[in-house]
Structure 1
Amino acid sequence: MGSKYAKRYSEEFKRDAVALVRSSGRTVSEVARELGVSGESLRAWAKQDRIDRGQGASGELTTAEREELRRLRRQNAEQARTIEVLRKAAVFFAQESDR
């Protein structure tokens, strides 16, 4: 059974692994075994590479689009926290002014 912690690979490593699959004529499983990565990880990297090269299915997000979506979600969460702080401050000051 594998580790409960996911390994992190550099973008360069992923790019090189996908290039090896594309250029070698070997299966994803063979290349994955040779590199010591999971076949599922390498398949996902290869799929994302196809999407990034404009060969994905309609509606699939490129890496740049995924990163932008993550950035917008973080920004939205930060704004929600700011709004909550401001709401609490408004309630506090409204109560103070009633005294």
Structure 2
Amino acid sequence: MGRKSRYSREFRERAVRMVFDHQPEYGTRWAAMGSIAAKMGGTAETLRKWVRPSEQDQGIREGLSGAERERREALERENREHNRANEIRRQASADFAQAELDRRGK
């Protein structure tokens, strides 16, 4: 439910590929990103945010790949749902127990 990206997925993938392909022509990766971003009408920082996950997916950089990240988020979401359901059950159990105690006292 995130907002729609200004750049298409194909555009981002092409820009990332260009960084990997043209990095040897520049002194540093940051220099390559700055030059490519300027030519493509973006900023080096935006391009860096696209390159990092790509490096993780390829195993170049430490961290979770895109599939692993999605799986973790799904598990965390499921865990939150279970915790909410358990809290509702605990509260209902406490309410029923209190109602039973109140009923017996009369």
With the length of structure 1 as denominator, give the TM-score of the two structures.
0.75
The Cα shift of 1:33 comes to 2.4
Identify the residue that residue 100 of structure 2 maps to in structure 1.
Answer: 97
Aligned with residue 32 of structure 1, among 12, 37, 43? 37
State the secondary structure of the residue aligned to 1:55. coil
Equivalences for residues 1-99 of structure 1 within 5 A: 8=5, 9-24=7-22, 25=25, 27-57=32-62, 60-98=63-101, 99=103
Counterparts of 1:65 and 1:40, CA distance in 2: 24
> What is the CA-CA distance between 1:40 and the residue it aligns to?
1.7
Q: Identity over the aligned pairs, expressed in percent?
A: 36
Distance in 2 of aligned mates of 1:12 and 1:96: 61
Cα deviation for residue 79 of structure 1 reads 1.0
Question: Of Structure 1 and Structure 2, which has the larger fraction of its residues in helix?
Answer: 2
Larger radius of gyration: 2
| TM-score (ref. length: structure 2) | 0.71
Residue 79 and residue 21 in structure 1: after superposition, are their counterparts in 2 closer, same or farther (change >3 A)? same
**Structure 1 unpaired stretches of 5+:** 1-5
Q: Which runs of 5+ in 2 are unaligned?
A: 27-31
Cα deviation per residue 1:39-58 (whole Å; 9 max; x = unaligned)?
A: 2221122122122112223x
